[in-house]
Amino acid sequence: MPTQWNDVPEPLRCDIDIVADPGLAEDPQGCMLAWLEAESRPMAFTPHNGGHWIIFSHSLAHKVLCDARAFGSFPIGVPPNFQQRPRLIPLESGPEEHRRYRRLLLPVFQPTVVQKMERAVRETAIRVLDEALTVDALDFLADVAKPIPTRVFAEQMGLEVDMLPQFYAWEQGFYRAPTVEERAACGQKISEHLQGVVARHQEQQSGDDIVHLLLAAEVEGEKLTPEEVHGIAYLLFLAGIDTVASMLSLTVLQFARNPGQYSGFHQNPESIGGSVDELLRLNAFISLNRICEADIELDGLQLKAGDNVVIPSALTSRDPNTFPVPDLFNTGRSRTELNQHHAFGAGAHKCIGLHLAKLEVRVVLEEFCRRVERVSLSPGKTIVGHGGTTMGLDTLPIEIVRAS
Ligand code: HEM
């Protein structure tokens, strides 16, 4: 039986609710960082969300993420839903199966393939920004951060661009609908739609979008079945849009709160490229989770089979033992330091879309900084955010001064 609250000794207990702490709605990042501020322990156990361990230490989190045999990735979620079917491919697959999926998927997401997408990403970014930045006050999330990755994703996957409003609505509903049933219904609609997309791609035989590439992918005579391509397309939909939008909006919030820093980027938008990893470290937002496959000792503590171990990347990416002066935006950190944030996770499941994600973030921010001289939070309006496995913003009301 997994660890129960009553079994946890007092010094290991904490009261963190990563899903519903009221502070998450007002300032999700600030709320999470306040938890870290109050902590000196490498890990603790909270009774909220089914009861789970929560890791604050970067090195301990790294150890867990890099041991996929002892710490499984099914089911992903806080609280974990052990009944969930079908599994998310490749994230929720076991080590053997996962290796096969990664071998087949890597060619589609490797840097040389992603580089070729830059022009299309920039065209989309320019089109959306030029329309959104005609006014002095806007919701950066709804007007910029969501539409760009959704359109990029639809074009890359060969989805119908005229269905973009429907995709926003499903995607928004999957992550933010008030009830579990509504969220599940949106997931079902996305899944059914993608099933049709894969079937159509099979009939068309050839093309250069990601669904075609996945159907054609072959490594040492092995191919993905259409069902597997459907499963992968579903995870890509859920992993590839909201994440980029969250990252963009948290970064622009950082800019709005730090006008001096933003001014440097406005004067030299090309410097964004060298700052992306540091921006990702400071704005990491996914709380990853792993399930203990068997009873195991971790950092001198006894964990039980079935225990949910949660790794908030927002916290482990600011561990002062790994990142000196962790709250300081410092692009002068060593390469090793810059590369080891947990925004994309670590180990076998480290984000396969990270080159595309970094490209999108760099290009959108370059074009934004070029066009906007000053950005600030709209006076009298508040940001609205949420917690959960993907902490983030629901609105980001900003005012801008356009560059002349
Ligand atoms: C800034 C944007 C992004 C962030 C912060 C991000 C973050 C992450 C993280 C933390 C994981 C690891 C999850 C875990 O180990 O439990 C992950 C996995 C994954 N991501 Fe991303 N991601 C981003 C964008 C993307 C994009 C654009 C795509 C593809 C279109 C993508 C596809 C995936 C896939 C397929 C996995 C599962 C990999 C595996 O299990 O081997 N992600 N991502």
> Residue 6's pLDDT is what?
97
Round to the nearest angstrom and report the end-to-end CA distance of the chain: 64
Name which residue sits closest to atom 36 of ligand 1, judged by CA: 351
Percent of the chain clearing pLDDT 90 (strictly above): 89
Name which residue sits closest to atom 30 of ligand 1, judged by CA: 240
CA–centroid distance, 240 to ligand 1, in Å, is 7
Q: Which of 21-30, 202-211, 299-308 has the lowest mean pLDDT?
A: 202-211
CA–centroid distance, 243 to ligand 1, in Å, is 8
Ligand 1 nearest-atom number relative to CA 149: 27
Name which residue sits closest to atom 19 of ligand 1, judged by CA: 351
Residue 141 burial class via C-beta count within 10 angstroms: exposed 0-12, middle 13-18, buried 19 and up: buried
CA–centroid distance, 239 to ligand 1, in Å, is 6
pLDDT above 90: residue 275:
yes
> Residue 319's pLDDT is what?
97
Total count of residues recorded for the chain: 404
pLDDT tens digits, residue range 127-169? 999 999 999 999 999 999 999 999 999 999 999 999 998 998 9
Q: Please state, in angstroms and rounded to a whole number, the distance separating the CA atoms of residues 15 and 47.
A: 7
pLDDT above 80: residue 84:
no
Residue range 311-317: average pLDDT?
Answer: 98
> Residue 87's pLDDT is what?
83
pLDDT tens digits, residue range 328-359? 999 999 999 999 999 999 999 999 999 999 99
Neighbours of 379 (CB within 10 A): 8
| Comparison of pLDDT for 84 and 124, the residue scoring more | 124
Q: Which of 222-226, 285-289, 297-301 has the lowest mean pLDDT?
A: 222-226
Residue range 320-329: average pLDDT?
Answer: 97
Helix, strand, coil share (%) of the chain residues, nearest 5: 50, 15, 35
> Residue 85's pLDDT is what?
66
Name which residue sits closest to atom 3 of ligand 1, judged by CA: 243
Does any ligand 1 atom lie closer than 6 A to the CB of residue 244?
Answer: yes
Does any ligand 1 atom lie closer than 6 A to the CB of residue 288?
Answer: yes
Radius of gyration of the chain (CA): 21
Does any ligand 1 atom lie closer than 6 A to the CB of residue 353?
Answer: yes
CA–centroid distance, 244 to ligand 1, in Å, is 10
pLDDT above 90: residue 178:
no
| Comparison of pLDDT for 353 and 176, the residue scoring more | 353
- Domains identified in the chain and CATH numbers: 5-75+91-146+241-402 (1.10.630.10)
Average pLDDT, the chain: 95
Ligand 1 nearest-atom number relative to CA 284: 5
Does any ligand 1 atom lie closer than 6 A to the CB of residue 238?
Answer: no
**CA torsion, ordered 239, 233, 156, 130, to nearest 10 deg:** -40
Helix extents (H) in 110-206: 111-115, 118-132, 140, 147-157, 164-176, 180-204
Residue range 305-321: average pLDDT?
Answer: 98
Cis, bond preceding 28 (omega within 30 deg of 0): no
> Residue 167's pLDDT is what?
93
Q: Please state, in angstroms and rounded to a whole number, the distance separating the CA atoms of residues 85 and 9.
A: 35
Name which residue sits closest to atom 1 of ligand 1, judged by CA: 244
Ligand 1 nearest-atom number relative to CA 98: 41
Q: Please state, in angstroms and rounded to a whole number, the distance separating the CA atoms of residues 143 and 140.
A: 5
pLDDT above 90: residue 279:
yes
> Residue 327's pLDDT is what?
98
Q: Please state, in angstroms and rounded to a whole number, the distance separating the CA atoms of residues 55 and 60.
A: 7
Ligand 1 nearest-atom number relative to CA 109: 29
> Residue 326's pLDDT is what?
98
Does any ligand 1 atom lie closer than 6 A to the CB of residue 311?
Answer: no
User: At 180, is the pLDDT very low, low, confident or very high (cuts 50, 70, 90)?
Assistant: confident
CA–centroid distance, 344 to ligand 1, in Å, is 6
Q: Which amino acid is at 320?
A: P
> Residue 271's pLDDT is what?
97
Does any ligand 1 atom lie closer than 6 A to the CB of residue 102?
Answer: yes
Does any ligand 1 atom lie closer than 6 A to the CB of residue 88?
Answer: no
